[in-house]
Amino acid sequence: MFGSRRSHSPAPQPRPRAGVRAAALTVSLAVAGVLGAAVPPAQAASHSRPAQCRGEGVDPAARIRYQSDTVIDAPLSTVFKLQTDVERWPSWQPPVLTAERLGPGPLRKGSRFRWTTPAPATPSTPATTLEITSTVRQLQRGHCVLWRGPAIGEGLRIDEGVHLWTFTKVRGGVRVHTEETWTGAQVEADIPTATAALGAGLEAWLRDLKTTAEARAHGR
Q: Tens digits of per-residue pLDDT, 161-215? A: 999 999 999 999 999 999 999 999 999 999 999 999 999 999 999 999 999 999 9
**Mean model confidence pLDDT for the chain:** 83
- The answer on pLDDT for 80 being more than 50 is yes
131-137: list long-range contacts, CB under 8 Å, 24+ apart: 132/161, 133/102, 134/163, 135/110, 135/111, 136/107, 136/108, 136/109, 136/110, 136/111, 136/112, 137/53, 137/56, 137/109, 137/162
E strand intervals along the chain: 64-72, 98-101, 112-119, 128-140, 144-153, 156-170, 173-183
Q: What pLDDT, in 10s, does the model give residues 142-154?
A: 999 999 999 999 9
126, 155 in Cβ contact below 8 A?
yes
Q: What pLDDT, in 10s, does the model give residues 51-67?
A: 999 999 999 999 999 99
Specify the pTM: 0.79
218, 75 in Cβ contact below 8 A?
no
Cα dihedral sign, 20-22-24-26: negative
Nearest to 168 by CA among 81, 71, 86: 71
Count of CA atoms in the C-beta half-sphere (13 A) of 103: 13
Q: How far is CA 30 from CA 89, 121, 124, in A?
A: 22, 7, 12
